[in-house]
Structure 1
């Protein structure tokens, strides 16, 4: 049975719903909210929405964008109809194109490029919620290795794989992004440095204060580097960890270009995301951008 098959997808959604209900922060008085995240293929970045929200008292129930009341982690806003009236929390656009969302309740967006292109008149909270992972998973002991985090489109990749073989397993760990969030996050968090073509490889490194560098490979990702530029404009404004992939460079050469995002900026970004979500949940029931309750979620 394929991952995207209807029965398997439904089973996955029910399993995640049950896991969220069992999370201590959400147990008993958690708010059940119809939420959208990308579920077309396995990817730890997309898995962050159902993993993170229960830790803030929200039980997400998967729904397609038109029926959702909360849009979560990822480059999702192109999927959101322009008359959407629910909440956006740290989401971003995939492409560098206008996609106005005038009726949405914007708690936060990934970065200022997304904010401009969805037509926000006032500056919102910026940040990708993936930057919160270190607040919920303690960093494991470092294994001293470089974490190479290729996007799913870059597995396998001949030039990158050759450099990994040259460096050896004792020096490099290749992180499979097609894993559940907690597993992939722990593998990245155990590294001494990160080389990534996956945005959430970079964001996870920033969450734990790990030096990182990002690069691009063929085939190009959908939207090109827009989502990286959007995120970095929020967390490392005026600076980038991007380095072109050059066949003459070793992994150690790339790591020599890596650096960690400013810890105070990362902390402020995480605080802003948490405060935006808490502020929405504290509103009177009639003002919630995502009316809670099981019956509302199941409509």
Structure 2
């Protein structure tokens, strides 16, 4: 059985943890039932993402984009649970089958236990913000550590786990923060963001998704998101994000083309002052954290699901 991994071109730690989390939760799964695909962490219940053919075992996946596949054939779909009550409703399942995002189980892995805490207050942007914005520079001005969600998944998770506060535009930034008992504040740089998946997870843990709105940091970011920048509205252009990706150097985003002058760079930073102010204000807002008992309950229910999978498949 192979875990499904949506390998995005830009990289995203929330998707990439499927590469190793299931080997811990269900050891030996790769050696059995080659005909079955394990569909786990991610907003992947989508006809454009999942392969059409083959049997699928669903454990904690979410809906949020595109169209749901037809999941009525029990011979083709073994649905044990989904991410939250909103996905459960969409799929036509009882709400109690919307348990929680399986990423919370990362905290059970020995390598992530008893990590030393730091004084870092960390911003985890959405990958589009990371690709098209100048958020590393902004973070320096507001006293936040910047964490790129496109980095290697285990390294990103360790940074989240050891922070004292997470300001999250990345949903899995908030999910992992909550799982590691790190207070978090949700933010958004676009009013057009798909809030369904956030609310799906938030309701599973009885918390509220009410993001602090922050202006985009650059014109390129506004174009990539179809947002406004200094009063000017832009049509969304996904190709703009791809162009920004081409300028990436390792884990460092090039903030300006080589031919641009230092004055031009300073001008871009000046135009990002509203973004800096918004991020600073968000970092001072009252953070959230689900109740210990609620999180423990959801994890136990997921353990029970996993025990049933072990019994039936392993």
Fold shared by both chains (TM-score > 0.5): yes
SS in 2 for 1:249: helix
Q: CA deviation at 1:149?
A: 0.6
TM-score, with normalisation over the residues of structure 2? 0.69
Q: CA deviation at 1:162?
A: 5.1
2:103 to 122, 125, 130: 130
1:273-295, Cα deviation, whole Å (9 max, x unpaired): 12201112112xxxx4xxx6xxx
User: Residue 43 in 1 paired to residue 12 in 2?
Assistant: yes
Is the 1:147–1:173 contact (alpha carbons within 8 Å) kept by the matching residues of 2? yes
Is the 2:58–2:79 contact (alpha carbons within 8 Å) kept by the matching residues of 1? yes
Work out the CA distance in 1 between the residues paired with 2:141 and 2:162: 21
User: Residue 208 in 1 paired to residue 180 in 2?
Assistant: yes
Work out the CA distance in 1 between the residues paired with 2:57 and 2:164: 36
What RMSD over aligned residues (CA atoms) do the two structures have, in Å?
Answer: 2.8
Is the 2:86–2:98 contact (alpha carbons within 8 Å) kept by the matching residues of 1? no
1:69-119, Cα deviation, whole Å (9 max, x unpaired): 210110111034678642101100122865441132211111111111112
Is the 2:165–2:182 contact (alpha carbons within 8 Å) kept by the matching residues of 1? yes
Q: CA deviation at 1:215?
A: 1.6
Which runs of 5 or more residues in structure 2 are unaligned? 216-273
Is the 2:88–2:98 contact (alpha carbons within 8 Å) kept by the matching residues of 1? no
Is the 1:108–1:124 contact (alpha carbons within 8 Å) kept by the matching residues of 2? yes
Q: CA deviation at 1:163?
A: 3.4
1:121-171, Cα deviation, whole Å (9 max, x unpaired): 56315110111122211142222111111121111454744531212xxx4
User: Residue 259 in 1 paired to residue 288 in 2?
Assistant: yes
Higher Cα radius of gyration: 2
Matching residue of 2:204: 234
SS in 1 for 2:80: strand
- How many residues are treated as equivalent by the alignment? 244
TM-score, with normalisation over the residues of structure 1? 0.72
Is the 2:3–2:22 contact (alpha carbons within 8 Å) kept by the matching residues of 1? no
1:190 to 162, 167, 179: 162
